[in-house]
Structure 1
Amino acid sequence: MKYQTELKEDILFIRLEGDLIASADTQGMIEDIDAMEGGKVLLCAVDLSNVRFMDSSGMGVLVSLLTKFRNRGGELVLIKPSDHIRKLLIVTKLNAIFTIAENDSFATQFLKESIY
């Protein structure tokens, strides 16, 4: 799995590509995110549009990220998951805890409104 991060308008955008499964890459990503801005970033958008496959470990990564941001008093949103990822979220009932945005602008709007 590859990932890129970008801080834009006080929102951390994480863009994932490939398979979201247990690997050194996913652990490294979580550590990088923890270190960013000393944990002061409150809002996060995870772009899943280029994720082909996700297993239970990948779901655990998303839940872990959501927990980290909510524990800081922030929020996390998922951007444009594929049909396969959406079905997994529904089957596992994780669709009830994640907000799904169709694009960056909707994610930005939702996140900005979530903390005010």
Structure 2
Amino acid sequence: MSSDDVRKRAEQPQDLSRFVVERLNAGDVEGLVALYEPDAVLALPDGTVATGRAEIRRAYERLVADGPTFEPGQQQPTLRSGDLALTSVRLADGGVTVEVARLQPDGTWLWVIDQPRLPG
């Protein structure tokens, strides 16, 4: 059984936010990448954007390299329209995350757009 087979999949769009914190803290780069559609975009702290899973993988490899610890924030209400969902988390420092998730053919959710840090 591969590690992809044992990882939880997002049955609801808001599951993605919980999974990202769990996988960041575990240093699970492949698990983090698995939360995104193949052509997803991830905003980076320097103002650039990682596009696609290969660039997202490189961004997370750098992020978890030093073993930082991440705390879950306060999940905000999810807004859904058809197969799209807007998720957001208020962080302890007052910042917020904003993401767009899409319902997949298998009934699970993956992020399409991820802005992990906006000022509060």
Task: Give the TM-score taking structure 1 as reference length.
Answer: 0.28
Structure (1/2) with the larger helix percentage: 1
**Larger of the two Rg values belongs to structure:** 2
